[in-house]
């Protein structure tokens, strides 16, 4: 008994001999020259061109995630490029592979937490009581609350108030941002520690205001970082550090067992 084929279908883009459409728009005539890269990313993901306000906030979110200095992801890309400079794409890929639960996961974690606490943004619930519940739940399970705290940026992550300001000015600061802020305040009070909302927490909350599914939120970090990594690889090609790091680490790591 043979299996039945299921249909295969994509609604993102198509092309014919003389036309290319992306999300229902004519790429050469309606997109090129009319949109910026952040707006096109929004179109690609949602099927809709952003309003001017959505554009402002979405560009700010993604830009925040492009670059943050010498991160593990930048190091992996640079070291990979040192071995395979003919495969720039593989160096970027290597750099992206580590964008998992440790560094970027808190962004999707914050979105997931907020959606689970408040599935319907319009629901008639008391946000203060809800924040108490959320904090108590995480503390009871001895879990870290995603999106709070930063090893370096204390007592405030300088990106957070600016992101919230941009969201506010553009009508995208609603109950999810409010809930996130209450959760942070409750968590600080309960723990007695400085737990500022970090950039990934702010972005996670604003993503809920947009209504993005939490599963795709990590994707914003991934696409932003790809841009950042190309910058690091360009610098690596001009002023390399990959081989030097390798040799220093190799020397040190095996000194205890290596004979003179």
Q: Choose which of 22, 125, 127, 185 interacts with its own copies (CB under 8 A).
A: 22
Residue 79 Cβ, how far from its own copies at the closest point, in Å? 5
DSSP SS3 for 26: strand
Q: Which stretch binds its own copies (CB under 8 A): 10-18, 109-117, 127-135, 181-189?
A: 10-18
Per CB under 8 A, contacts with its own copies among 92-121 are 92-104
Binding residue for its own copies, selected from 53, 54, 79, 188, defined by CB under 8 A: 79
Question: How far apart (Å, rounded) are the C-alpha atoms in residues 55 and 40?
Answer: 10
Contact status: 189 vs its own copies (CB under 8 A): no
Residue 68 is a binding residue for its own copies (CB under 8 A): yes
The single residue among 129, 144, 168, 231 that binds its own copies, judged by CB under 8 A, is: 231
Least separation in angstroms between residue 182's CB and its own copies is 23
Residue 137 CB, nearest approach to its own copies (Å): 18
Contact call for residues 73 and 225 (beta carbons, < 8 A): yes
Please, what is the minimum distance in Å from the beta carbon of residue 128 to its own copies?
28
What order of strands is seen across the sheet that includes strand 25-26? 13-15, 20-22, 25-26
Q: How far is the CB of 119 from its own copies (least distance, A)?
A: 18
Cα of first residue to Cα of last residue in the chain, in angstroms, is: 68
The reply on whether position 124 binds its own copies by CB under 8 A is no
Q: Of the candidates 67, 132, 178, 188, which one interacts with its own copies according to CB under 8 A?
A: 67
Candidate residues 53, 88, 139, 191; the one interacting with its own copies per rule CB under 8 A:
88
In angstroms, give the least distance from the CB of 64 to its own copies: 6
Map tokens 């009319």 to a residue: 34
Name residues contacting its own copies, limited to 29-48 (CB under 8 A).
Answer: 29, 31-33, 35-41, 44-45
How many angstroms separate the CA atoms of 115 and 121, rounded?
8
Quick check: 129 binds its own copies (CB under 8 A)?
Answer: no
Which of 76, 117, 131, 195 contacts its own copies by CB under 8 A?
76
Burial category of 137 from C-beta neighbours within 10 Å (exposed 0-12, middle 13-18, buried 19 and up): middle
Contact status: 87 vs its own copies (CB under 8 A): yes
φ, ψ of residue 148 to 5 degrees: the values are: -115, 145
Please give the Cα distance from 228 to 76 (Å, whole number): 13
- Residues 6 or more apart from 240 whose CB is under 8 A from it? 78, 82
Q: If phi over 0 gives left and psi between -120 and 50 gives alpha, with beta otherwise, what is residue 3?
A: beta
Which residue, 62, 64, 65, is CA-closest to 212? 62
- Give yes or no for residue 162 binding its own copies (CB under 8 A): yes
């Amino acid at each position: 008994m043979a299996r039945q084929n299921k249909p295969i279908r994509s609604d993102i883009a198509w092309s014919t001999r003389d036309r290319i459409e992306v999300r229902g728009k004519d790429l050469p005539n309606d997109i090129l020259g009319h949109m910026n890269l952040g707006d096109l990313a929004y179109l690609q993901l949602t099927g809709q061109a952003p309003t001017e306000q959505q554009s402002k906030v979405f560009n700010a979110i993604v830009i925040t995630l492009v670059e943050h200095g010498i991160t593990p992801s930048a190091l992996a890309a640079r070291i990979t490029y040192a071995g395979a400079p003919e495969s720039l794409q593989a160096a970027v890929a290597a750099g992206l592979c580590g964008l998992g639960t440790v560094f970027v996961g808190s962004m999707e974690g914050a979105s997931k937490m907020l959606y689970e606490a408040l599935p319907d943004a319009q629901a008639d619930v008391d946000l203060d009581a809800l924040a108490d519940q959320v904090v108590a739940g995480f503390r009871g399970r001895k879990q870290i609350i995603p999106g709070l705290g930063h090893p370096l940026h204390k007592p405030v992550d300088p990106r957070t108030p600016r992101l919230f300001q941009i969201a506010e000015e553009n009508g995208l600061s609603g109950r999810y941002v409010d809930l996130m802020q209450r959760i942070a305040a409750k968590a600080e009070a309960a723990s007695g520690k400085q737990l500022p909302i970090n950039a990934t927490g702010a972005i996670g909350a604003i993503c809920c205001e947009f209504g993005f599914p939490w599963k795709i939120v990590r994707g914003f970090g991934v696409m932003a970082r790809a841009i950042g990594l190309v910058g690091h690889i360009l610098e690596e090609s001009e002023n390399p550090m990959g081989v030097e790091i390798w040799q220093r680490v190799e020397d040190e790591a095996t000194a205890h067992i290596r004979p003179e």
